[in-house]
Amino acid sequence: MSAQPALKMQAWIDGIGFIAPGMPDWAVASAVLRGEQPYVSASSVLPVPTLLPSAERRRASRVIKLSLGLGLEAVAHAGADAGTLATVFSASGADGHNCHALCEQLATDDRQLSPTRFHNSVHNAAAGYWGIATRCMAPCQVVGAFDASLGAGLLDAMAQVACTGESVLLVAYDSEYPQPLFAKRDTPDCAGVALVLSARPGPNAKARIQLHTTRARAATMADPALEQLRQQVPAMRALPFLQRLARGESGSVVLDYLAPQQIELDVTPC
């Protein structure tokens, strides 16, 4: 009996958003990944979430600013309508600073928690703020799979594209924890990537990707500083794939997922 061929899901990338230490947007990141400028690490620059009402803007945490900035850059890049896109938000954790503050409060005699701190601490807070900012009523998924969160989010988003034929915005992000939590989870800073994925090629398509699983080893970055970023921030497991996109190179790239299962992407620039 012959083996069945592996099932591949495919999508077209219409837009990209990116924020990481030393790379405030996709324009800078793509220049670094093409080798046109050196990578210089610096604190992540988070855009002001101007789409939020003033009261929500004041309460917005670093995670909210990060996820909104990523999503809006990708949507603008794609020329899409943020208010109509289905979304997948993927993160290995929630807001580390809020988690720290809640733990400090619970360690005192006064264990009454701030409602604002609590609702900003939950894993789906970023998705909620996205809905407030864009008034989007389309379906939304929130995914967490620790260090495999990027792969889980990508699988979910591409499955939705394949099943519905509609475009999906994937926002994969992570943020830092203050000490003493940092000693156990050393994510150094805020970072993430967003992709607008479509079922068919459009005028803004950047590349076609086909996804299947493999047990091959994940690709790494030749630059030691970028490789450290890839290893320390789960969302930055996408860096080898993003480098291929930035360089306009076709071919396959393997990304970390749930070992020994990995994700292989076949990239064809448009």
52, 60 contact by CB (below 8 A): yes
Task: Specify the pLDDT at position 115.
Answer: 85
Query: Domains in the chain, ordered, with CATH?
Result: 10-206 (3.40.47.10)
Task: Specify the pLDDT at position 3.
Answer: 53
Residues in Cβ contact with 242 at an 8 Å cutoff, skipping those fewer than 6 apart = 16, 18, 29, 30, 33, 193
Contacts of the segment 215-224: beta carbons below 8 A, 24+ positions apart: 215/260, 215/261, 215/262, 216/254, 216/262, 216/264, 217/254, 217/262, 218/254, 218/255, 218/256, 218/262, 219/253, 219/254, 219/255, 223/39
Summarised one tens digit per residue, pLDDT across range 55-114 is 888 888 899 999 999 999 999 999 999 999 999 999 998 888 888 989 889 999 888 888
Residues in Cβ contact with 140 at an 8 Å cutoff, skipping those fewer than 6 apart = 86, 87, 88, 89, 127, 130, 131
Summarised one tens digit per residue, pLDDT across range 212-259 is 999 999 999 999 999 999 999 999 999 999 999 999 999 999 999 998
User: Which residues sit opposite 191 in a β-bridge?
Assistant: 174
**pLDDT of 6 higher than 80:** no
Summarised one tens digit per residue, pLDDT across range 13-66 is 999 999 999 999 999 999 999 999 999 999 999 999 888 988 888 888 899 999
Find the mean pLDDT for residues 161-184.
95
Whether pTM > 0.85 for this model: the answer is yes
Q: Where does the pLDDT of residue 1 fall: very low under 50, low under 70, confident under 90, or very high at 90 and above? A: very low
**pLDDT of 5 higher than 80:** no
